[in-house]
Amino acid sequence: MNKDQRISRLVEELSGAPANRASDDVADHPCYLGFFRCWNAQRYYEAHDVLEHLWLRTETEDANYFKGLIQAAGGFVHLQKQFLRPTHPKDGRRMFPAVRLFRLAGKNLTPFAPVRHRFEVAKFLGLLRKEVDAIVASDHRKNPWSPERAPQLELSGAERSG
């Protein structure tokens, strides 16, 4: 099974709908919804993969929106791995790439604030800044993430921008 097939199967398990199902509303697309389900289950790597499945097929301005969400998930992959194995030679040094990805995510997501596809982008940007500030303030030594404090994301806001 190749990666595309694996991700399609995961999306269908998460949403009950095929990953390639057409939807007029991005907020109802199985890959978009799957991203949030994976994120809230602290499955950041899978969240990245699920949304990447949609991003690679996107030829609209949403491409940078999806890219920013994917980068944010990647940043949390780094924090999660560092939390689980802080003394590991590679995982112990994941704070720097996490900060880099959070900053790239912020750059890509800022044009879509305050809300995009029922997601409060402005609030999420605040979360990313808070993570960066905490890591930088500790000179990249203290990880602000833990399973108990893992951020939960929800779709709720009315479309106000874009």
* Cβ neighbour number for residue 139 with a 10 Å cutoff: 8
* pLDDT > 90? residue 99: yes
Q: Alpha-carbon distance 145 to 70, whole Å?
A: 18
N residues, the chain? 162
Taken in order of first residue, the domains within the chain and their CATH numbers are: 3-149 (1.10.3450.10)
What would the mean pLDDT of 126-154 be, rounded to a whole number? 97
12-69 per-position pLDDT tens digit: 676 666 556 666 788 888 889 999 999 999 999 999 999 998 898 888 889 999 999 9
What pLDDT sits at residue 58?
81
Classify 45 as helix, strand or coil: helix
Helices (H), the chain: 3-15, 30-40, 44-55, 62-84, 95-109, 121-137
Least Cα distance to 81 among 72, 71, 70, 93 occurs for: 93
Where does residue 1 rank: exposed (0-12), middle (13-18), buried (19+ CB within 10 A)? exposed
- With a CB cutoff of 8 Å and minimum separation 6, the contacts of 130 are 144
* pLDDT > 50? residue 161: no
Predicted TM-score (pTM) of this structure? 0.88
What would the mean pLDDT of 113-120 be, rounded to a whole number? 96
Angle between helical axes of 121-137 and 95-109 (0-180°, round to 10): 150
Backbone angles phi, psi at 158, to 5 degrees: -70, 150
Find out whether 121 and 157 touch, Cβ atoms under 8 Å. Answer: no
